[in-house]
Structure formats: C-alpha cells, structure tokens
Chains A and B, each alone.
Chain A
C-alpha cells in the first residue's frame, strides 16, 4: 500500500498534520489513456502516491468503491487514512487539483457522509471531478479519472 513516511521533515515547525501529492493514470497508458464516456467502465484506474507525510491512500478500496458505483448508487471516492491517527476530527483538509495545459479543470473536494464516507480520526475521503467541456461528457467526468491522455492530473492535499 502506498503510504508516506512517519518522518516529519526537519522543518516540522510548520505543524502541518499531514500532506500528500498524488498522480493519476489510466491503465492503458502510463500517464493517461484514451478517454471514454461509457459509464459502465471503470473511469479511473489508479491513483499513484508520489510523496507525503502521515497519509496513505487505499487504492484497493478506491477501486472497489468505484466498481460498486456502477450500480448507479454511488460513484466512489478516494480513501485516505492517517498513519498516526488524529486525536479528534477537528482537522481541516485542504485539497486542490492540478490539471494540465490542455484545458481541463480538475476539481476535488473532501466529502463527509457519516455512513459511507465518514470523516474520522483515522482518515477521510476525497472525490473529484474533471471538467473537460460542458456537454454530456461532463457527467462522466466527475469521478476520479483522467479524461485526457497525458493529462498529468493530480491532487495536492494539506491537512492542518
């Protein structure tokens, strides 16, 4: 499982509780794949952990939840957990996306649902959407995937 070190950097005075940076890729391409808007297909494939502190990404859970999403009930989210749990749930998650020059907005946010996506001392969930254009294709872009080949989209997460 991809995860970050427990090691605070030597500039730990910042008191940032956790952070990480991710990348996205589709399985049919190292940096992205052919975009498809078929909703029954797995729309994202992998989210790759680049580096971070005190966070891990549950790739398996993420995939499972997205498969389940095809029942039309839910479309999944990425699960993040802390390596060292928080003492309470008062932490604040700041998440931003990074798109590419091709013109895709990559728009993530944290979701908090007490049943399916609870924010706990152990972790939280993030869901994202990629807006490529405003036609129907957008419907299928709200899940975590990379609509453009070589789009190099990624998440930047800071927890304070």
Chain B
C-alpha cells in the first residue's frame, strides 16, 4: 500500500453544480425490504415499481421541463465479498443502469422530472452454472442495503428563478442581428469588436446605422419568425397570447427609435423610445400593449421591456385588421432626433444588443440564443428542424417548457413532493471533490504506480493490497462533515485492439464496470475517504468456460493499458462553498 506525493495542489473549481444528487437503496423485496432514497438534495422519491425496476423522482420539476437533462450514476456495493458473484449466476446482483420508459411522454406514469432505473444481473441458463448463453435479468437487490445507486442529475436549462417556469429566448440570432432582415439598403448593421455589451463581453454589440445623405425612408430590421407553431399544446393561435419583448439599446449618434412585436403586415404592439429623456411610449395596431418599461443597466445601456398581445387572429393571410397566423417578429427602428421614423439619413448610429422574445408577461434575464433552431434534431419527424418535438425518445418538448409547472398537464405525479428548494440551497448542489485516478499500464505488483491527477479537495489515494489493482481508497483533502455524499465515477481507458477475428470475442475487459465498493455497512465510504473498484468483464462469460462475468483482474495493467477513473463528489458538507 502506498501513495503518491504532491497531492495538495487542488485547484478549486467548486462552482460546478448539479441539479440534484442522492444515494438510493435497492433492497430485496422478497425479504420484505424496501427500496428508497437514503439521502440527497433535490430528490422527491425513489420507489420500486417492479422486479429490478425503480423510479426516481426529482423535486423542482420546473428545472426539467425541457426533458433535456442527464443522469449520472454509479453503483455502490456494500459488502466484503472478495469475489463478485453479484454479477454472476448464484447471487442476485446488480449493475446500475438507467433506462427509459418505452411509453411516450407525456405520461401519467413517467413525468419529465423522473427517470427509471434498472437493476440487472447476468444470469446463466437454467440448470447450468455457465454463463454462456445467459441473459440479463432485472432483479431486486441481493439483501438489505447491499446495493445502492449514487446519482446526480444535470439539467441544462435555466433555473435562475426556481419559482417561475423556465423561459426560452425565442429569437434566433439574438446577439448577431446582422443575421436579421433589413427593410431597405440605406441602412445596415455591423458587429463592433470594441464596444462592451451589458454583460461585459465584446464582439456582439450591433452598430445599427443609417445611410449617409440617404433618401427619406424608414430604417428598420426584423428577426426571423418566432418559432412557436409545432407544439400542439402551444398551438398556432397568437390571439390574446401574451408576448414579451426586450432589448438593450445605447445611444450613439442616434438615441431614438422603436421596438415592435410585429406580424410583418399590419398588426403590432411595442414602444417608441428616447434615450435622452429615458422614456418609452406605446404604439399598437390591432393589438394591445399591457406594460412597458425602460431602465438603466449601466454604462449608458438601457433595457427596454414590453408586453402585449394581438387582438385578433386568422388562419388566412392578412387582411385589414387581421394578423397573419403564426407570425411574430421583433422589429427595431432607428428614429431621428425628433422621433420621426421616416427621415433622411445622416450616417448616424444606434447600438443594440441582446434581443429577447418570450411568451408570458415578464421579461426574464437575457439568455443568449445566437444560433439557428435547426441545430437540433427532431425525432418526431426524423429531420433537423427548428424544434425538439420528441415523442417517446426525449421526454418533453422544447416549447412546452414555458408551461412546465408542477402538477399541470401531466408534469406532476400524484403523491410526489414538488416543493421547490429555496434558492440558496443551490449551494448544497455544489461539487465537493473531484479528481482522476490514473492506473497506469505497468506490469508488476506495485500498486503505488497509480496516482490521482487534476483533483479538487482530494489528498491522495491508497491502493488496496490484494485487489489486483482494482481497489483504491480516495482520500479527501479536508474531512467531510458527514458520510452523506454521492460519488459519480466514469471510465476513461486505453482501447484494446480487436485483433482477433471478427467472430471471436474482443478484449471485453476494456468495458470495465467502475463502482464504489463501500463494504459492509459502508465502512469504506467515510468522512475521510471512499473506495473505488474497477471490475472487468471476463470474456470467459462468452466462452464455454465457467467464470464470473465480472471480476477484479490485472489483465489490462499487464497488457500496458492505462485506465483513468474520473470521479466527482456531491454532498458530505454541512456548510458548502469551501472544501
């Protein structure tokens, strides 16, 4: 047993956070044991729903409204067995694995903030101890609290305001308005490399300028259509639907202008603005403006926000007073010093940044949306399109996020807890340690050849003797306050060459299972350290020979193959923010 030196150089990156984390217990129901969640943050429940099937429900469902969140998970084995029959024939075992319901979403059985968990074992054919020809089975845990699931959920959509629905900026190229459309040629936009935007960045301030000595004309730009049509729950009818627009403006040699939500025909609502007087005025046609504001945000930048709705709608092309169905763009004008929208240009300019349009009545913090919607793949149609309308495969719909409130429209599950955590408990979602355990491919019996690299709050490791280079205790830099933490591990490995014939088994031990080996009653998962175990698939399982399907082995090391185990830790602290 040995340890490497120089492990105190942890680079703090503690602001990494997840949305929820926890540790669930998988019991043996045949022995009257239950499965539940042991501890965690942002977790509502963990329940058994069938043999080897469990359902994890996360709190704060508004976070998961897009359906686009990832669940990282690692199995934890809590016994002292030296072999690993858990994965084998005679003992009920488990490999943590998430899976997804084949039922389409939305469903009354799986909500957007839920994830099914499968618990598998390798099973031999009946009447034989050989695993060859065996199958996978979903099974419950082997005994009371011998298998746990460590998990952490990452949701990548906005939850700055935990109490409000998630809102998405519906404008394409919200910062590069050079991609917007101009109504004529006597004005243009360019991106300034020097001007500083309200968020402190450079490179995306749009210089909106008029032509010099140009003819009397109106100078305005407009975005592409706001994409809201594909989702049936959102619908195509804009009538009486609140839309909020917002944009940052700064005076150059021009300081007046107009911002509209507009159907490009004759229906619009919006404001005219004057940055000298810091005022806005309503302007509408066949629409209603319900509120508007202008506020200074610093460095002479002003954010204009306004909300309104169309008064009518139609499914036909526009006529008098009838807006085009499905049409809304943001349009921005420059005006002259008198506020005239139609005037002769003098090559003067106005600065614009950060346009945003969203449904609803409030303007959230600006979120950049500077890409085309067709970057996303649409499983419903099998094409790339502007929307993520995914049935069955990815739960949730991009555009539905705006209504993904707890308990509504199938997003909630009866009996589950949906109480939101207060904002500052996000701290308890911060990462408390991370690192990479490197197991170099060196033959021999010196476990000290391994080391930890690029870590945070990790002091060192101890290779565990007798573990065939498969057991490693990872020590925290600062002792945890408690043992209630989860560890997520993921393998990076040097690939095996598949130099056998295509019909022969490859070196399956490239596909190792990494787990936490916490031992009986969790004695190896303490406030000081936790134990990682790397188990290789034994290719014998596909031969006729007997053998455990998963085992500790030094084969890869002896073949000079290096493994890396990345790990991250959430929880374990009473006070967060520092290790």
Contacts and interface: CB of A to CB of B under 8 A. Distances in A.
Interface in B129-168: 131-138, 154, 156-160
B354 to A, nearest CB: 12
B138 A103 contact: yes
A146 B576 CA distance: 42
A148 B367 CA distance: 39
A87 interface: no
Contacts of A52: 156
A110 B71 CA distance: 17
B497 A73 contact: yes
Contacts of A36: none
B337 to A, nearest CB: 36
B506 A99 contact: no
B98 A98 contact: yes
Contact of B500 (A72, A113, A127): A72
Interface in B475-518: 488, 490-495, 497-506, 508, 510-513
A135 B125 CA distance: 10
B190 interface: no
Nearest to B122: A134
B495 A100 contact: no
Contacts of A73: 497-499
Nearest to B364: A10
Nearest to A111: B495
B579 to A, nearest CB: 16
Contacts of A136: 503, 542
Contact of B508 (A9, A99, A142, A160): A142
B454 A92 contact: yes
A15 interface: yes
B325 interface: no
B98 A132 contact: no
Given A48-B377, A134-B549, A152-B392, A94 B488 contact: yes
Nearest to A129: B511
A122 interface: no
Contacts of A15: 13, 15-17
B95 A139 contact: no
Nearest to A31: B393
B97 A97 contact: yes
B363 interface: no
Nearest to B151: A96
Contacts of A157: 70
Contact of A10 (B70, B367, B566): B367
A58 interface: no
Contact of B134 (A2, A5, A135): A135
Contact of B371 (A6, A19, A101, A133): A6
Nearest to B388: A51
Contact of A113 (B159, B495, B504): B495
A88 B502 CA distance: 37
Nearest to A48: B377
Given A7-B368, A97-B97, A160 B498 contact: no
A50 B497 contact: no
Contacts of A121: none
A109 B370 contact: no
Given A30-B382, A152-B392, A51 B376 contact: yes
A-B pairs with lowest CB-CB distance, top 7: A156-B70, A39-B502, A92-B566, A134-B134, A94-B490, A111-B495, A10-B158
Interface of A: 2-11, 13-16, 19, 21, 23, 30-31, 39-40, 48-53, 69-70, 72-75, 77, 90, 92-107, 109-113, 116-117, 119, 127, 129, 131-136, 138-139, 142, 150, 152, 154, 156-158, 160
